[in-house]
Structure 1
Amino acid sequence: MSTVSEPRITLDGNERVVPAGTTAGEALQADGRTVVAARVNGELRDLAHRVADGDAVEPVEIGSDDGRAIMRHSAAHVMAQAVQELFPEARLGIGPPVENGFYYDFDVAEPFTPDDLKRVEKRMREIVKQGQRFARRPVSDDEARAELADEPYKLELIGLKGAAGADDGADVEVGAGELTIYDNLDAKTGDLRWKDLCRGPHLPTTRVIPAFKLMRTGGAYWRGSEKNPQLQRIYGTAWESRDKQDEYLRFLEEAEKRDHRKLGAELDLFSFPTEIGSGLAVFHPKGGVVRRVMEDYSRKRHEEGGYEFVNTPHITKEGLFETSGHLPYYDEDTFPPFDVDGSNYRLKPMNCPMHNLIFKARGRSYRELPLRLFEFGSVYRFEKSGVVHGLTRVRGMTQDDSHIYCTKEQMGDEIRNLLTFVLDLLRDYGLNEFYLELSTRDDSPKFIGDDADWEEATEALSTAAAESGLDLVADPGGAAFYGPKISVQAKDAIGRTWQLSTIQVDFNQPKRFGLEYQAADGTRQRPVMIHRALFGSIERFFGVLLEHYAGAMPPWLSPVQAVGIPIGDAHVAHLEKVAAVLRDRGVRVEVDTSSDRMQKKIRNAQKQKIPYMLLAGDDDVARDAVSFRYRNGEQKNGVPIEEAADEIVKAIEARVQI
């Protein structure tokens, strides 16, 4: 029979008795390199944590999600130590692990330079090589304040211990229970080398960090508020092996090549003139073609799906968003009000309140439901300058916004049909790998409405998601203030996930606007409102597709689908005849009549990622043909003009990628 001096613990589902004072690492027989931490009764712990009677102990491997996070958090500590050794005046902010890496914020007199990063990384490698030991020790609030008296941001975090306001990484530093400090101790002497307020856990030693690299610096407001001081943030990445890190760095190189901002300039698609303002894009003629084709195809599919098109203005009286309930929650995300004839007006941040007014404009019958309203509606969001990013985070955007009004009895089928419609249309644009995220309410006071309505709406979404056959990920607390939602998460060509379409069920806005329809029995009933954005916004979806295809859009979306390239000036007239045939069949075609040599014209067409190059020389003219050169470099000679036109038109109509 075990005693307190001989704890009985559970390992791999089996009970065993261990000597008193046994650490989690000893119980797991961890080598400290493969297994770097433990999960004890569901909580992550250092390997040095002493197990107690009744504990269930599981290993945490360095290549697992938890293991990587612990390693990256430890790397952030090593970086902070290196910074303070090289820049003793630097004061510490926070240093959490993040997806694919870590960062640490510092209060320094001058921003870090690229040379500074090289010095910090070199010093980090020295600390890693020394194998300094991470050692946890509990401290009281007063002890922590005394030890960290020179660290004003840490003192603020101590005051936030357990507070709801301890956000943006503060939970890495402090928890709701006791405070702890982690010491970095000399591997040989045990002398203190550095310390930090931290909840942990950490690796056993710095030597266990196999591969890391500092990436960049940037400004960051303390605790994410513009009212607070701006600190300097250093970002790094860390991995369980050099091979994994090299793989990630290659991924970053590929992502950089696909950056839609870079491609937008190279392909002359769009720009962001400083004279207009941050986050406000203008589309150039070629970008305008792509955008028009995207919108036209979407309109066609919506018409086939029974949607009715509406249009609403860009500004409105402020009271409309008070009625809808948006203003208290989205006030900081909207542009400030402006006075018109003594009333406050706002730039429209969303379309749904105006669609409610369209529904309410006259009496409605159950025979009209479901009523599906659709609009390419321009909206405006006051995004902070630090988060504006090309087309994927803008201040002015056009949403492909739809609001469906239906009966409760129709709700389930409508959601299922909506989800099928959304996925089919996204597939038409070339995205094929999806999973779903179900965002629900939590205990936050921001959520409005009856619990029963929320449960019914959530159940309807959950059922439709399950029937789709796609993986479903829970997102507690991520719902809109008025109702739960399904988000379609799509993977692009290099495996990145983008949140695209959303489907939200709303029982609250119909109540707030007093929306009603006459039921079959003559009574007045409240409709269910379903919000649906398919692209999210035209701008963002444009950017996602541009990166997915690396600028080489499929023929149906390419601004120029074919270009005629004459071998010499004598062949221009023949290619103009070919171009006329193609234009008659709806193909967007140009003929390069510049003075450049043929090889230069081919290179120019390749840089512009034009799907089809149609070359012509004497033989082609004589045979009333062209020579195909495809975007991948393959060539097919002597193709009769009509056959060439058929091939191009067939590819365009099939929406295939070449």
Structure 2
Amino acid sequence: DAHISFYKQGEFTDLCAGPHLDSTGRIKGNAIKLTACNAAYWRGDSKRETLQRIYGVAFPKKEELDEYLAKLEEAKKRDHRKLGRELGLFMTDELVGRGLPMFLPKGYTVWRILENYIRDKELKLGYQHVLTPCVGTVDLYKTSGHWDHYKNNMYSTVIDDEIYCIKPMNCPGGVMVYRAQPHSYKELPMRVGELGLVHRHELKGALHGLFRVRCFTQDDAHIFMRRDQIEEEIMGVVHLINEVYQKFGFKYFIELSTRPEDSMGSDEDWEAATQGLKGALDKLGLPYTINEGDGAFYGPKIDFHLEDSIGRTWQCGTIQLDFQMPLNFGLEYVDENGEKQRPIMIHRVCFGSIERFIGILTEHFAGKFPVWLAPTQVKVLLVSEKSEAWGQEVYEALKAAKVRVEFDNRNEKIGYKIRQAQLVDRVPYMVIIGEKEAEDKTVSLRYRDTTATEVMTLDDFIAKVVTETRERA
């Protein structure tokens, strides 16, 4: 039943999905660029002929091509895989496996800061936090619907003659936590957060740094609520996601994704869920576009697409409204009349996955993390060994104040140390300690993005860094 399309230009006929330009005359000769040329086996079969695959781009004007190429070059400089190595954030190894990143001390520092940041925000909003197992019986995922609709992306094994699955999503565990005890309408909404490790099978050709992996941690939350609380809870989640993205300087746009072909549930439930999401967005006055057929198999969703500092977009946050999973697991609460009712469920993430969000932030900031997020906030640079005692005292005082600090007392020229701290390590603050600073008991402060130096007392500098860290500035 598929539609097959052909496009013809002159004597050339192309079998493809299209579209083609109506005339190649629209393309200017100075606005064409071949970007890559590589070998590809016919139909992916290594026993068949090798073909040459040529990639290129064309624009109506040379200025547009130049702008595009400049953006590509900037993206290469910001590539999180390159910066991840230079900054010592994460590593991968074929012996461990593809798509299975390992975070190094500095990368895990960023990880923990993000984890604490989102957990603190959730606690203020009344979330409770749980931790559920990484492995569950196949019956758990049959009940949730994942086995029927998501099996090809799941890992499974046999234990004691039973099939067990490594969890691809946190929601079945969150549902079981809710189901473990009876609930009253007075307890709802019940907001349950979990920073849970999940595993999903991704094709090896799709794996890419931290952006597409097989093992990652989601900042999941599941909200169980009454029907009359749907709009208010969705609006609350939108406000949370907006605050998070504003903190990192992201603009974003919103898509509302509707029922896909592979789904479960009645038309009535899907319509009610879709209208619930639309109603909340309309009430907030937020513009959005409809993305037909791209919802989750159990419900429609709101997707947040971030725009980074060089104009690229990334899909991260999502709000999914689910009538099906509470039904599948027989979830209940007792209403004001003593009658049993079915709760409605929201699935929600802000970062999406911590791994991917760190990759996005690394490229967004070009490795220059803000002070509160930087794995190393301060580097103490010694001019010579004559001032080492004061340098050591400064270092110890910063450590005592819980500032993330390193002490560079190598026998190298101070210019070299500054360049490495500023351009390679991308440290926000460099504290230069020479004989004058040792004599006056001061510090010479140099900022990452300037060549200016500022002299201040050690106490004032510590107060500055501590304040910026506490206020996440």
Common fold by TM > 0.5 = yes
Distance 2:45 2:335 in 1: 50
Number of the residue aligned with 1:347? 166
Tell me if the contact between 1:182 and 1:198 (Cα under 8 Å) persists in the aligned partners: no
2:229 counterpart (404, 410, 413) = 410
Secondary structure of the corresponding residue to residue 393 of structure 1: coil
Secondary structure of the corresponding residue to residue 355 of structure 2: helix
1:510 counterpart (295, 304, 326) = 326
Number of the residue aligned with 1:240? 60
Structure 2 matches for 1:526-545, cutoff 5 A? 526-545=342-361
How far did 1:330 drift? 1.2
How far did 1:199 drift? 7.6
Query: Does the alignment pair 1:562 with 2:382?
Result: no
2:413 counterpart (597, 615, 624) = 597
Number of the residue aligned with 1:215? 35
> Aligned letter for 1:487?
D
Secondary structure of the corresponding residue to residue 381 of structure 2: strand
Tell me if the contact between 1:436 and 1:465 (Cα under 8 Å) persists in the aligned partners: no
Query: Does the alignment pair 1:612 with 2:429?
Result: yes
Task: Report the CA distance shift for 1:583/1:202 in structure 2 as closer, same or farther (over 3 A).
Answer: closer
Structure 2 matches for 1:434-513, cutoff 5 A? 434-441=252-259, 444=261, 446-513=262-329
Distance 1:220 1:487 in 2: 35
Structure 2 matches for 1:38-117, cutoff 5 A? none
Task: Report the CA distance shift for 1:551/1:511 in structure 2 as closer, same or farther (over 3 A).
Answer: same
Number of the residue aligned with 1:367? 186
Secondary structure of the corresponding residue to residue 376 of structure 2: coil
Distance 2:22 2:51 in 1: 30
What TM-score, normalized by structure 2, do the two folds share?
0.94
Secondary structure of the corresponding residue to residue 454 of structure 2: strand
Task: Report the CA distance shift for 1:199/1:278 in structure 2 as closer, same or farther (over 3 A).
Answer: closer
- Structure 1 unmatched runs, 5+: 1-162, 167-173, 185-191
Task: Report the CA distance shift for 1:215/1:554 in structure 2 as closer, same or farther (over 3 A).
Answer: same
Secondary structure of the corresponding residue to residue 276 of structure 1: coil
Distance 1:217 1:401 in 2: 41
Task: Report the CA distance shift for 1:464/1:516 in structure 2 as closer, same or farther (over 3 A).
Answer: same
How far did 1:217 drift? 3.8
Tell me if the contact between 1:278 and 1:385 (Cα under 8 Å) persists in the aligned partners: yes
Number of the residue aligned with 2:438? 621
Number of the residue aligned with 2:241? 422
Query: Does the alignment pair 1:525 with 2:341?
Result: yes
Task: Report the CA distance shift for 1:198/1:401 in structure 2 as closer, same or farther (over 3 A).
Answer: closer
How far did 1:558 drift? 0.5
> Aligned letter for 1:644?
F
What TM-score, normalized by structure 1, do the two folds share?
0.68
Distance 2:457 2:439 in 1: 11
Number of the residue aligned with 2:204? 385
How far did 1:528 drift? 0.2
Distance 1:326 1:471 in 2: 32
Distance 1:418 1:205 in 2: 48
Task: Report the CA distance shift for 1:204/1:637 in structure 2 as closer, same or farther (over 3 A).
Answer: closer
2:72 counterpart (238, 245, 252) = 252
Distance 2:445 2:346 in 1: 49
Give the root-mean-square deviation of aligned CA atoms.
2.2
Task: Report the CA distance shift for 1:557/1:218 in structure 2 as closer, same or farther (over 3 A).
Answer: farther
> Aligned letter for 1:583?
K
User: Which moves more between the two structures, 351-360 or 639-648?
Assistant: 639-648
1:436-482 CA-partner distances (Å, limit 9, x unpaired): 1100125x2x1221222111111111122233343311101011111
Distance 1:218 1:432 in 2: 36
1:559-581 CA-partner distances (Å, limit 9, x unpaired): 11001111111112212211222
> Aligned letter for 1:500?
C
2:126 counterpart (289, 302, 306) = 306
Distance 1:645 1:304 in 2: 28
Distance 1:479 1:598 in 2: 56
Query: Does the alignment pair 1:401 with 2:228?
Result: no
Secondary structure of the corresponding residue to residue 483 of structure 1: coil
> Aligned letter for 1:252?
L
Query: Does the alignment pair 1:316 with 2:136?
Result: yes
Distance 2:233 2:21 in 1: 51
Aligned residues: 470
Number of the residue aligned with 2:388? 572
Distance 2:17 2:308 in 1: 36
Secondary structure of the corresponding residue to residue 386 of structure 1: helix
Secondary structure of the corresponding residue to residue 206 of structure 2: coil
> Aligned letter for 1:554?
P
- Structure 2 unmatched runs, 5+: none
Number of the residue aligned with 2:363? 547
Tell me if the contact between 1:379 and 1:399 (Cα under 8 Å) persists in the aligned partners: yes
Query: Does the alignment pair 1:637 with 2:454?
Result: yes
How far did 1:630 drift? 0.5
